[in-house]
Amino acid sequence: MTYQELIKQAIDLKNKEQYEEAVKVFSEAIALDDSQPEGYFYRANVYNHSLKQFRLALKDYTQAITLKCDNEFYYYNRALCYLNLSEVDKALDDYTAALTINPNYALAIWDKALIESDKENFEEALKGLKRVLALSPHSAAIVYKDVGNIYYKLEEYDQALENFNESLARDSYYTYAYKGRAMVYSALGQYEQALNDLNKTLEIDPKDIDGYRKRSQLYQKMGRQIEADSDNDMIKKLSICH
């Protein structure tokens, strides 16, 4: 079989979730022609996203980049691998490299912004998320939620509420936005509004452990210990099932 035939066969195996077999066939393709970056990249994706063998994935991504250093997707996926290895600064470097090649790569801008938020570089994070809104308007519900989370961290609650409301205006079933807005209402002492949002979260997803955890904490703030205990029992049951 030719190199391209082996790559196609391996991709078919990967799509069928036959990951170990896919790796074997990608390896055959690489043995046939080790000057092509695609085999390394595809095999790295299987290691990274499916088999969780992150060090093997990192080695293959690096080889793919060595062979073709102008492909933003290679840097982006290696960044994801670095995040899986908790090597955040190296992930940031790869997002930056991807954006040097393609400044409008919305996913790289988005992921980089979330890391900046975690590092409390909020101004940089907000700048990135606003670019994502312009580049990827179909993702607006999620992005507005992310912006709301940053304003919540900054204790700018009016701005946080505005963005969570924008998120829910675009997706009225988006539980993360309900939970985010509930945290703002709780911080403002508006416990009934917070409770309504958490109740809505659990109406949409009755197995949302985080929703029960947040509602239990809210019940405790409200002095409603019996309800808090009931939610804690549900958390234990769901945790056992998971």
Q: Quick check: 206 pLDDT over 70?
A: yes
- When pLDDT is cut at 50, 70 and 90, the band that residue 235 belongs to is very high
Return the structure tokens found at 29.
Answer: 């393709």
Domain map (residue ranges) of the chain: 1-103, 109-242
Average model confidence (pLDDT) for the chain? 97
What's domain 109-242's superfamily in CATH?
Tetratricopeptide repeat domain (1.25.40.10)
Q: Exposed (0-12), middle (13-18) or buried (19+): which is 110, by Cβ within 10 Å?
A: buried
Q: Quick check: 242 pLDDT over 90?
A: no
- CATH class (in words) of the domain with range 1-103: mainly alpha
- When pLDDT is cut at 50, 70 and 90, the band that residue 148 belongs to is very high
Task: Tell me what pLDDT residue 130 has.
Answer: 96
State pLDDT tens for residues 105-136.
999 999 999 999 999 999 999 999 999 999 99
* DSSP code at position 137: G
Question: Buried (b) or exposed (e) across 136-169, using 16+ Cβ within 10 A?
Answer: beebbbbbbbbbbbbbbeeeebebbbebbebbbe
How many of the other CB atoms lie within 10 Å of CB of 29?
Answer: 25
Would 1-103 and 109-242 be classified into the same CATH topology?
A: yes
Question: Buried (b) or exposed (e) across 186-195, using 16+ Cβ within 10 A?
Answer: beeeebebbb
State pLDDT tens for residues 23-34.
999 999 999 999
Task: Tell me what pLDDT residue 211 has.
Answer: 98
